[in-house]
Amino acid sequence: MKRLTAASALTGFLLLTGCSGTPAPDSPGAAASGAPSPSASAAAAARPDPAGSCTSIDLDAETATGAQLGACFSDALHVLGTFRAKVDTGDELQQAEVRLRPDVAIHGKTTGADPDEVVFVDDTAYKNDGGGWIKGDPGSDDPEKMVIGNAGRLLVAVFAGDVLRQSVEACPVWNLLPAKEKMTLPDDMVVEARVFECAAPYVMIGSTITDSRLLFEQDWTPVSATYTATGFGQTVRAEQWWYDFGADLEITAPI
């Protein structure tokens, strides 16, 4: 079995709390140029309203507590139900298809030094790191099957569990920046997003998080996060995107 890279082991962390930094000119977060891109307005009109608990946030106050923003973020994802996600840590690129309702199912791929593919469906995880699919089992005596089974639990905690909320709540105060940010998502949709920035460094899962930002569309659909995390002898910078909400995703067991 291939080794677990630091970025892979902290997937849940990387998929939510964010790194700052300006996107490279050809990155999904860079400003659009050249050919016209789809407008966000038509797509937003066809999807559920994710606002929910987000209405407790007073935009005129230009701040939100971690508890408010964490609940807003998590609730919005669950209302929207299905989406695709992408995270770039520089040495790894992780992409996932996620279904939260009516049941949790996830299909993820990692490219980089140790590429692999993971599926979680029907409460079971499967992994393929190039040698074929293996079915995980958290209670197995086989170390490989046990690790894969626990990796499935991590994916669920990240995309459907408390990690989504707790990683944002760990920052006590988020400041709403005065200017909106125009960005292009990986599906080529152009959005103009509200930008919340954590007011100070904070600690999450043993790492110090700095330059953390969380971006939402005007209807509170989460679209991006960035951060720098320092801990366990290394520094990780990452940028995350959520997009293609409401996609019809068919995620099935590979074996």
CATH topology classification for 15-243: outer membrane lipoprotein receptor (LolB), chain A (2.50.20)
CA-based angle 107:108:113, to the nearest 5?
155
Look up tokens 């608990």; give the residue: 53
**Would the CA dihedral through 24, 25, 28, 30 be positive or negative?**
positive
Half-sphere exposure of 231 (CA within 13 A, CB side): 17
Phi, psi of 97 (to 5 degrees): -105, 135
Per-residue pLDDT, 134:
96
Give the number of other Cβ atoms within 10 Å of residue 201's Cβ: 13
Asked if residue 184 lies in contact with residue 225, where contact means CB atoms within 8 angstroms, the answer is: no
Domain residue extents for the chain:
15-243
pLDDT by position in tens, the chain (length 255) = 433 333 333 444 434 333 323 233 333 333 333 344 445 555 555 566 777 789 889 999 999 999 999 999 988 988 889 999 998 888 888 899 999 988 899 999 988 777 889 999 999 999 998 899 999 999 999 999 999 998 888 878 777 766 777 889 999 999 999 999 999 999 999 999 999 999 999 988 788 999 999 999 999 999 999 999 999 888 988 898 999 999 999 999 999
This prediction has a pTM of 0.79
Lookup: tokens for 208: 């110090």
Residue 51's Cβ-count burial label (10 Å; 0-12, 13-18, 19+) is middle
HEC string of 57-110? CCHHHCEEEHHHHHHHHHHHHHHHCEEEEEEECCCEEEEEEEECCCCCEEEEEE
